[in-house]
Structure 1
Amino acid sequence: MIEVKQLTKTYMTHERGHTLRETVKNLFSRSMKEVHAVKEISLSVKQGEMVAFLGPNGAGKSTTLKMLSGVLHPTTGEVKALGLTPWKQRNEYVRRIGAVFGQKSQLLWDIPPADAFYMNKAIYGVPEADYKRRLDQLTTLLDVGEIMRKPTRQLSLGERMKCEFIMAMLHGPELVFLDEPTIGLDVFAKDTIRDFIRDMNREGVTFLLTTHDLDDVESLAERVVVINHGQIVFDNTLHELRGRLGEKKAAKVTTEEPLPDHTIPGVTLLKRVNETEAELEIDTCILPLKHFIRQFNEIYGIRDMSIEALPIDSVMKELYSSTKKEAVLV
C-alpha cells in the first residue's frame, strides 16, 4: 500500500539574531541555516494495516505525512502509495485517499453537512447508486440521522467529527490519513469514532494515524512507528514496544504504614496520593512481582493493590528521551 525509501526533507531558514547588534546586522545580511526535518526514513505499510505514526512535537511526523499525502515534495527519496507517486500523480492519487484532521474542518460552516456531502459527490464523481449506498451505511454506523441536516455551526464537536468522517469516506478511499481524529471529544464520542474506524478497517481500508491521545493508539493500532529527530526509532507492535523497554509494571498500592520517599531497589515512586497511598513503577527484571508483594507487605503492610502493564504514555516518554545511539530501537 505504501513503500517509502530513503525519504528526506531539508529546509533552508534564516537564522535570527537575539542581540541588538545581530538584529541590525540581519537587516543587511542574513545567514541561512539548513534544517533536516526528515532524515532518510524507509517504511512499508501493507493493505488493511492500522498503523500509528507517533512522535513528539518537531519530530518530523507532520512533514512525513504531508509528503505521503502529496502536499510536500521531498528533497530526496522515493514514495509509492497505491502504486503512485503522491506529488507527481496528485489528481489520480487524491481520488483514492481520504483524510480527517481533528483541528481542520472539511465542512462548510453555514450549510448542513448533507449539502457538503453532495458537493463531495460531485467533486469526486461518485455514481448516484454508490453515493446513496455509502451514505446510508456511514450515517447508520455513526448514527447521525437528522444531525447532518442542521447547519454545521449548530453541531457539537462530536457531531461535527462524525460528519467529518462521512465527508472523508464517501468516495470510498483505500488509504486514509488521520491526524488527531478524537481531539477534544468526550469519552462517548471517542468510542463511537474508534468503533467506526475499526469497522472501516475490517472492510479493508488502510489507516495511518497520528495522535497525541495514546488511548487511540491502544484502542486501534497493532503496529506503532515512532519518529524522533527526523528518524524512525521504532517500528513494531505495541506489545514489542513495551517489551523492548523492559518488563515494567505499574502498581497502585494502599498500605497500613506510611510510605517513605525512597523505596526498595527495582521500585520507583511515580506519584504520592497521600502518606499511605502511591503509584509505583516496578522493574520486574530487578524485582520479580512475587518478591515485590512479599517485601512490600512485610515492610508496609498492603491493604489494597492493583498491578497492570506500564501505561503507554510512560513507555513513550522513555523512548522519546532516549538520545544515545545504542538506545535507538529499529
Structure 2
Amino acid sequence: MTVVKANGIDLAYDSFGDEANEALLLIAGLGTQMIRWTVPFCEALAARGYRVIRFDNRDTGCSTHFHHCPPPDFGALAAALMAGQRPDVPYTLYDMAADAIGLLDALAIDRAHVVGRSMGGMIAQITASEHPERVLSLTSIMSSTGNPMLPQAAPEVMALMMRPAPDPVSDEARFLAHRLAFARRIAGSGHGFDEGAHRLLILEETRRAYDPAGSARQIAAMAMAGDRRSRLATITAPTLVIHGTDDPIFLPACGRDTAASIPNADLMLIDGMGHDLPPALYHTLVEAFDRAARRSSSH
C-alpha cells in the first residue's frame, strides 16, 4: 500500500500488474475499503494485461478521514432536501470523483478504465460524465441513477444497514454478528455465502480503520447527489452496467435504469447475484470487465 497526495487529501492505494499497461481503476462502495476488491480478483484482472489500481475513498481505510466534520443529522438533511434546499455537507460525490481523477494525476495516468461498485458506481458514473477525456471505459456495478421513481430497498434491509453496530473493541463478537447478519442478508441466493471469508474481511477492515462517522458522511454525499440521469446521458465512454437479480439494496430496476440512461450501454444481469461480488463470480466479472475495456479500443 502507498499513500499519495491527491485533490488536497491523502489517498491510499495498491497497484497490480505492469505499470506500462492500460490502467483499470476500481472504486469501492459506501463505507467499504479497497480491500473489498480482493487480491485474487485484482491479480486476475492484472493477468489480462491491465495495471489494476484499488484505493480507499476519503473517510475510509488509510485515506484522509474528515474527523473535523461532525456526522450529519439525517433528519435535518432529509427535511432540507424535501424543502428543495441544498444543505451544507462535508463533501459530495463530485468531490469523490475529483479524488479519483486526482489519484490518476498523482500516478501520471492520462486515461483509465473506471469500475465502481454501489456508491463507487455512482462515483464512476460522475467521473465518466464530468471528466470524459480521462475515462477509457465505464463499468457500473450494483449501482443506480438517483431517479426518485425507482423502487426502494425493503425497510428491513435499510434498518439493518442503518442500525448502529456494537463497538468492535468492547464487544467484538456482537460486532461481528451484526456485520455478518447484514452481509448474509444482502448476498444473493445463487453463489454461496462464505461466512469465514466475510468474517476475516470484516476484521481486516476494522483493524485498518473503523470510522462509522465517515460512512455517515458518505451517506450524506449520496443523498446530495440527486437524480443524475441528465448527466449520465452525456457519457461517451463505452459502458457496461452489471447488476444482480437478487440485489436487495439497489433492486434490478436500478441497473436497468442506469443502462437506459447511458447512451449505448450494455446491461448484464446476473442471476442470483445480490449486493456483493462473491468469488464464484470472479471469472465471469473479469471476463465482462475485459470485454468492456476492449470495446474502448474500437470506439
User: TM-score if structure 1 supplies the norm length?
Assistant: 0.24
Larger radius of gyration: 1
Report which of the two has the higher share of helix. 2
Structure with the larger RCO, 1 or 2 (CA within 8 Å, 6+ apart):
2
